[in-house]
Amino acid sequence: MEVLNFIFRIGVILAVYNFLWWLIMLAISVLRGGRPKLLFEVYLIKAIRYMFLADVIFLFCIQQVGGVLLLNDVLIAGLILLIYFVGKIQSKQQRQSFLSFRGQANIPGMSDFVNRLKPAFDLRFEILVVVLSLLVFSGFYFAPDLAYNAISNWFLDSILNIEDTPVFGFVFKVIGFFFLLSVIMKITGGLMTLLSGGKQAPRQNDDDDHFDDFTEIK
């Protein structure tokens, strides 16, 4: 039960952190005047975002037991971060595939419109950013004092304050609950795949034009 509550709390932290980051990026976009970002800028910002997220999650692990750092909490939090990051990459890939399919429609102007909707995506950079963030998270275990800084402390304090508010806190707790269900389903699915020897049910249609349904586009 404690593990489920821990995962639930991490889900709430992820939701509030993303909301705060969205507000920060919105303010920066206004200051930039809507100028599009270069690919390097996109992944530099993402690397900063993910590393601060890793830092905030690590600080939360320390706070869980009154300043005592437990290896089990770090391992579980690291696994949740890995699942979260992989899920973000998969969502980006699915959105790219979906928009590429839509862009092939023979509708005047559709291709240009779809290209503007496509997020910047480079699988090599995505993996690099994730690996770097997980290394930072792991490194904090051996040097926890490095995790304390003004920005990460502000993020965590703000997240916990928002979590305690009556309306916003409830909304983010609902998101955290669904995140918990998602993590349980992914872990269960992974275990079932391992137990079945990695075998998957055969597809009924192997046509190249067939697209599987997906439930989340980000």
Q: Is the pLDDT of residue 127 over 70?
A: yes
Greater pLDDT, 97 or 2: 2
HSE-up of residue 30 (Cα within 13 Å, Cβ side): 6
Count how many residues are written for the chain. Answer: 218
Average pLDDT, the chain: 82
Q: Check residues 63 and 140 and name the one with the higher pLDDT.
A: 140
DSSP 144: G
* CA dist list (Å): 153 to 51, 99, 183: 13, 38, 26
pLDDT digits (tens, 9 = 90+) for 98-109: 776 655 555 555
pLDDT: which is higher, 45 or 118: 45
Rounded mean pLDDT, 19-48: 88
145-167 pLDDT per residue, tens = 999 999 999 999 999 999 999 88
Least confident of 67-71, 128-132, 163-167, 209-213: 209-213
Q: Residue 213 has what pLDDT?
A: 37
Domain limits of the chain? 2-195
Mean pLDDT of 37-47: 90
Tell me how far apart the alpha carbons of residues 6 and 168 are, in angstroms, rounded to a whole number: 20
Residue 205 binned pLDDT confidence (cut-offs 50, 70, 90): very low
27 in Cβ contact with 195 (< 8 Å): no
Structure tokens at 8: 């639930």
